[in-house]
Amino acid sequence: MPKICSNFAEKPAKMNPNSLVSISDLTKEQMLSLLELARYFEENPNHKILDGRVVATLFFEPSTRTRLSFETAVNRLGGRIIGFSDASTTSSSKGETLKDTIIMVSNYVDLIIMRHYLEGAARYATEVTDVPIINAGDGAHQHPSQTMLDLYSIYKTQGRLDNLTITLVGDLKYGRTVHSLIMAMRYFNPTFRFVACKELQMPREYLEFCDQNGIKYTEHTDFDADVINTSDIIYMTRVQRERFTDIMEYERVKDLYTLRNAMLEGSRENLRILHPLPRVNEIDYDVDDNPKAYYFTQAKNGLFTRQALICNALGINPLKDKE
């Protein structure tokens, strides 16, 4: 997939400080404050604090959860939404550049939430506008709002973020959610297991990131009882068909890892199964009724964490306002 900036690029000088492009834009303290705010919104989902604010959702790539939960978040906070979910209905289909689209939309709104198929597109957008940008996924690069809901889900189910064994399974090459999650967990002394076939292994740059940050990890091709029964979190991922240039290669690897209920028999009591969704064949339907299946609640947590992220991007903190 083409990139328009490095995965580990520094913040551009012009970037609005409230923008969120990469999870690495947030300090540990900021992440913990956002989780606290998410919990507030889970308890108070209809706090109308965005009166008069307009938010744009620009989705150049398909989405169900991310777009709808961001839009629900704005609605529940009392703001207004404009945007598109199909760029072919916009003037980008006539050749308008991303730069011009961002400048134009910036004339209308207080915040832009954007998903794009190009790695680095969100970072680029921050260079052409002063309006804060939230990256809702850019190619195989980053998905920071997903990471915040993943952290919230891990915290809620485990009671802590520290010292957990987290097994990431499937498409570790193209899966932007696992890339963001590794970067966020660097503050919490995790042990990662990376389970993937050789074609979809964790990219070298993320292994180097682990090495540089003292993150323990092991790589596996077998998704077996040894791995499953010693995990606190199993994070399944979909093989990202849209990022393959060779469809035959996709066909070869798409069904290599499927979690079935019987495989969980010896698993830890506290184990929870996460998946950013959508799933294709990675989790059998017979897992859905297992109390360790958490992926649908995980997606629901996206609403509360995105309410927190929107407030953060707009410089609004209902917890401070209450003090």
Residue 66 sits in the site that holds ligand CP (CB under 6 A):
yes
115 a catalytic residue = yes
SS (H, E, C) the chain: CCECCCCCCCCCCCCCCCCECCHHHCCHHHHHHHHHHHHHHHHCCCCCCCCCCEEEEEECCCCCHHHHHHHHHHHHCCCEEEEECCHHHCHHHHCCCHHHHHHHHHCCCCEEEEEECCECHHHHHHHHCCCCEEEEEECCCECHHHHHHHHHHHHHHHCCCCCCEEEEECCCCCCHHHHHHHHHHHHCCCEEEEECCHHHCCCHHHHHHHHHCCCEEEEECCCCHHHHCCCCEEEECCCCHHHCCCHHHHHHHCCCCCECHHHHCCCCCCCEEECCCCCCCCECHHHCCCCCECHHHHHHHHHHHHHHHHHHHCCCCHHHHHC
Residue 65 sits in the site that holds ligand CP (CB under 6 A):
yes
Which of 190/276 has CB closer to ligand CP? 276
Residue 276 sits in the site that holds ligand CP (CB under 6 A):
yes
21, 271, 273, 277: residue in contact with ligand CP (rule CB under 6 A): 277
Rounded least distance, CB 217 to ligand CP, Å = 23
Residue of 94, 198, 320, 322 marked active site: 94
Rounded least distance, CB 147 to ligand CP, Å = 11
Residue of 65, 116, 123, 173 marked active site: 65
Rounded least distance, CB 288 to ligand CP, Å = 17
Residue 120 sits in the site that holds ligand CP (CB under 6 A):
no
275 a catalytic residue = no
Give all strands of the β-sheet with 272-274 in edge-to-edge order. Answer: 216-220, 191-195, 165-169, 233-236, 272-274
Rounded least distance, CB 94 to ligand CP, Å = 26
Residue of 57, 67, 76, 115 marked active site: 115
53 a catalytic residue = no
Rounded least distance, CB 298 to ligand CP, Å = 9
Residue of 66, 101, 157, 177 marked active site: 66
Which of 137/144 has CB closer to ligand CP? 137
Q: Of 230, 146, 158, 147, whose CA–CA distance to 182 is shortest?
A: 147
Which of 79/276 has CB closer to ligand CP? 276
Contacting residues for 203 by C-beta, under 8 A, at least 6 apart: 172, 173, 179
Which of 25/150 has CB closer to ligand CP? 150
Which of 253/277 has CB closer to ligand CP? 277
Which of 149/308 has CB closer to ligand CP? 149
Residue 147 sits in the site that holds ligand CP (CB under 6 A):
no
64, 91, 189, 297: residue in contact with ligand CP (rule CB under 6 A): 64
Q: Of 69, 54, 150, 58, whose CA–CA distance to 96 is shortest?
A: 58
18, 63, 90, 258: residue in contact with ligand CP (rule CB under 6 A): 63
238 a catalytic residue = no
Rounded least distance, CB 226 to ligand CP, Å = 28
94 a catalytic residue = yes
Which residues are catalytic, by number?
65-66, 94, 115, 143
Q: Which residues bind ligand CP (CB under 6 A)?
A: 63-66, 137, 146, 276-278
